[in-house]
Structure 1
Amino acid sequence: MFRKIAVSLLAGVFLFSAVALFAGGQAEKARAADVDYTDNPWTEGQDLSGKTVRIFGAFVDEDARRFNRSMEIFKEATGINVVYEGSGDFESLITVRVEGGSPPDMAAFPQPGLLSDFVKGGQVIDLNQWFSQDYLEQQYDQSWLDMATMDGIMSGFWHRANVKSLVWYPKKAWDAAGYQIPETWDELIALSDQIVADGGVPWSIGIESAGATGWPGTDWIEDILLRIAPVEVYDNWVEGKHPFNSPEVKRAFEIMSEIWFNEDYVLGGTDGIVLTPFGDAPNALFTDPPSAWMHRQASFIPAFFPRGVQVGVDADFFYLPPIDEEFGRPVLGAGDIYGVFNDRPEVRALARYMTQGISTKAWVQAGGFVSPHADADLSWYPTEADRRYAEIIANADTFRFDGSDLMPGPVGAGSFWTEITDYVNNYPNVNLERTLQNIDNSWPGR
């Protein structure tokens, strides 16, 4: 008897579940039927629901989850499915896929130089064919459009940015000492001298990074060059059309050297520069009293701060000041540019969405993300630091991408790193012109 009752109850449960599942499915279909997938700003009146766009990129884990959340507005409005795949082996795999004839619809490139290779191969769609110049100028500052223009085509669109032109300092000790934020390079040097006079060490610098040792030094050179020469010089330099062994680049090295090789300015001297891991270099700011007072590094560096250090409370930053007034307030940075490989209506729709600030809103609100879009609202940023990053980019007279990331690998990820390291290691018994010529000689095709 018990068994029959149990069987009857079980059957009832299965029947109820089946009915509920059917009803749920019908309700879902009813809800879907209520959505007008043509009523949105991105599909140009077409119903593209059920279509899929595939994106491949280098960011993974939490960044990938935040990206997917930022796509929800588009997916709900259009019914288009957006599938993102991230891989730490992006650089090698994207080449295999594109050269093998099976590219993703879009790819997020953290290094525009790699995208440029595909542009040269004629494998990237020119977005000037999809969007008018007026539309693009509404979405981005001209600097971003300039950086996306490769070999005469609009090679992609920008979706994430970070700022490199920053100097970090220990806020509480700084305020207690009464130090002021420098607005010019001369004021920065005067502040360094004041810190020395007060018995402190102005700078903590570290360029050690295993096989990539030297890269923080390349950022210094790029930041300085943007402050002492026309932007055209910078652009030609990263393309190999303007030599390292030139008056402008040589002067950038000399200005950097005035700080790096001043024995009173840098914690540990030249040995400290070469031997200190870049992620450990800011730690000197947070001893009591500070072992050093300033550290030039990008907006990602708080991830390397000691546990418990809070930006805005224990640490703060200021914009690396301009040098020559005529070149204004340039900003060095980096970001992700999306190249497009396949032309279908749903891919065009997603590209239109992603060229608009609304596509970054969820990621911006999650923190640690700066939108390069002109219509991104500053109120979306969750912290004062995030808003200030965005304001620095928005107020830049010129924004340019990390130069070494744009150069061919043998230079940007090779001789530029190694020669700047040798330059520090061997100073003062080193010939700067020889250093610069060595980098020039390593440029492919020369």
Structure 2
Amino acid sequence: MFTSKRFTAVLGVILAVAMVLTACAPKATPTPTPRPRPTEPPPPTKPPEPTIDCMGAEGAEVTVLYQWSGAEEEKFNAVVKPLVDACGINIVAQSTRDDAVLDTKAKSAPPDVLFWPKTSPMLLYTDLLKDLDAVGADAANYANYWKDMGTTGGRWLAIPVKADIKTIIWYSPAAFELFGYSVPTTWAELEDLVEQMVADGNVPWSMGMESGAATGWTGSDFIQDILLVQQGPQYVLDIIAGKVAYDDAGVKQAYETYGKWAKDETYTPDLEYGVDYDFFAVPGAQGMQGGADFMMAFGDSAGAKALVTYLTGAIGAAEWAGVGFDLSPNEQALGNYTDAALIKKAEALAGAAGFTPDIGDSIPAPFGEAEWKAIVDYVQGVDLDAALDAAATAQADALE
């Protein structure tokens, strides 16, 4: 063809000129021909897709006990459906919120796997529970503090499969944009923002309080967040353990910070998440507080191992996130959430330096009720020292 002939001719001229130049040039040591470089790097090797390991439990029956019911139970069933379909496992579940039922079951006919919103069963039934690393749990998918929370006497007995964070502050993006406010990144910036809102004639906080017999729990959560900022997580854990009295100066300081804000007029409008309100993590908090449902294994059958392996692995974590059953502490869940609020919460949890259980969920009922009463009394004008003294007395009695 004309184009190729023309190209050949031109190329021939170039070669001829090159040969003439070479002939006239002095002899020199020939240089090695450079090796051609690849024009494109080879595609990265993809890691193999995770697969479900039935652990030899095809067709087996697995008994579980949990507190979930209704929509929560439906979400759990959706999470484990891939395991059930792949292995033909029959999961026989019992739902109860009664500690007495758990106690009876644990001592007579314990479930293969337990899911409970406290770690107390690992202390009550230590000798009955199986070490999680012996039943297929993958510790590599969890931050160390999660494993620490479920370890007693050097044995890893509990791991959270579900979590919900509380160390966050909800806000209105529209209002922030309207008034030129920025999300604070330190506690000092938060305090300055609150004062600026007041100066602008705006109401900075909307705090609910009344909750029937549980009135006061919202105040308890907020005060714990303040304690995480001012004192740190170990201080909170020491309150739970009774090592720090509830009338300690650090507790009083947190109450005073809370009281400055809680005694302002507040309201709770009916708004839409992402449009009228959003949230950001409490700035300066050394870790997060929240609730979690912990998994423990009484059985080490193939079925129990398959369930534990699945839920602590990549596929179970992805299903948990995709279903939207609150948050999964399993790091493999990241990137699999679809709900906008859960995506942001998951990012906040993943970036947390630690996690402390909710004080109210971790202390004996008499102490918890006294704590709530102290908060309500203080907000209503009772002397702070008197309110804390009463709570500290209940703490000492409950933890003696």
The alpha carbon displacement at 1:384 in A equals 2.7
Q: CA deviation at 1:185?
A: 1.2
Distance of 2:384 and 2:80 partners within structure 1 = 55
Letter in 2 for 1:67: F
Percent sequence identity is: 29
- How many residues are paired up? 351
Task: Tell me how far apart the structure 2 counterparts of residues 360 and 395 of structure 1 sit (CA, whole Å).
Answer: 18
Secondary structure of residue in 1 paired with 2:115 = strand
Match of 1:348 in 2: 305
Residues 1:123 and 2:128 aligned together: yes
Backbone CA RMSD of aligned residues: 2.5
8 Å contact kept, 1:118–1:124 = no
Shift of 1:52: 0.7
Q: Distance in 1 between matches of 2:357 and 2:321?
A: 20
Supply the distance in 2 between the matched residues of 1:116 and 1:251 (Cα, whole angstroms).
34
In structure 2, the partner of 1:110 is: 117
Deviation of 1:179 after TM superposition, in Å, equals 1.6
Q: Aligned-pair distance for 1:428?
A: 4.3
Picking from 150, 162, 165, the partner of 2:164 is: 162
After TM superposition, the score normalised by the length of structure 2 is 0.80
Change (3 A) 1:400 1:97: same
Query: Structure 2 counterpart of 1:74, which letter?
Result: L
Distance in 2 of aligned mates of 1:439 and 1:419: 11
CA distance in 2, matches of 1:241, 1:155: 24
TM-superposed deviation, 1:227: 1.9
Choose which of 49, 53, 64 in structure 2 pairs with 1:42.
53
Q: What's the CA shift for 1:250?
A: 3.0
Kindly provide the CA deviation profile for residues 276-328 of structure 1, in whole angstroms up to 9, marking residues without a partner as x: xxxxx532xxxxxxxxxxxxxxxxxxxxxx3xx431112211111116xxx4x
Q: Distance in 2 between matches of 1:381 and 1:176?
A: 30
Partner Cα separation in structure 1 for residue 123 and residue 379 of structure 2:
32
Instruction: Give TM-score, length-normalised by structure 1.
Output: 0.72
Give the Cα separation in 1 of the matches to 2:297 and 2:205.
43
In structure 1, the partner of 2:88 is: 79
User: Does the Cα contact within 8 Å between 2:67 and 2:115 map onto a contact in 1?
Assistant: yes
In the alignment, which of 63, 71, 84 is matched to residue 62 of structure 1?
71
Query: SS of 2:280's equivalent?
Result: strand
Structure 2 counterparts to residues 286-435 of structure 1, below 5 A: 306=270, 309-322=271-284, 327=286, 330-367=287-324, 369-378=326-335, 380-412=336-368, 414-428=369-383, 431=386, 433-435=388-390
Q: Is the 8 A contact 1:112 1:405 kept in 2?
A: no
Give the corresponding residue for 2:16: none
The 1:241–1:140 alpha-carbon spacing in structure 2 relative to 1, beyond 3 Å, is same
Deviation at 1:382, TM superposition (A): 1.1
Matched, 1:97 2:102: no
* Structure 1 Cα separation of the partners of residues 339 and 299 of structure 2: 38
Q: Determine if contact 2:52/2:315 at 8 Å carries over to the other structure.
A: no
For 2:123 and 2:277, locate their aligned partners in 1 and report how far apart those are by CA, in whole Å. Answer: 40
Report the structure number with the largest CA radius of gyration.
2
Contact 1:66 1:362 in 2 (8 A): no
2:265 equivalent to 1:267: yes
Asked whether the 8 Å contact 1:221–1:252 carries over to 2, the reply is yes
Amino acid at match of 1:79: G
- Residue 46 of structure 2 corresponds to none
1:131, distance to aligned residue in structure 2 (A): 5.4
Contact 2:158 2:295 in 1 (8 A): yes
**Per-residue deviation, 1:127:** 2.0
Give 1:198 shift: 1.1
Compute the displacement of 1:404 (Å). Answer: 1.8
**Separation in 2 of the partners of 1:230 and 1:166?**
16
Offset, 1:368: 5.5
Once the two structures are superposed, residues 309-350 of structure 1 have per-residue CA deviations (whole angstroms, 9 ceiling, x without a partner) of 431112211111116xxx4xx211112111222221221221
Q: Unaligned regions of 5+ residues in structure 2, if any?
A: 1-49
Counterpart in the other structure of 2:31: none
Tell me by how many angstroms 1:206 deviates: 2.1
* Partner-residue secondary structure (3-state), 2:288: strand
Corresponding residue number in structure 1 for 2:178: 176
TM-fit CA distance, 1:430:
5.0
The match for 1:205 is 207
CA contact 1:245–1:440 (8 Å) conserved in 2: no
**Equivalent position amino acid for 1:125 in 2:** K
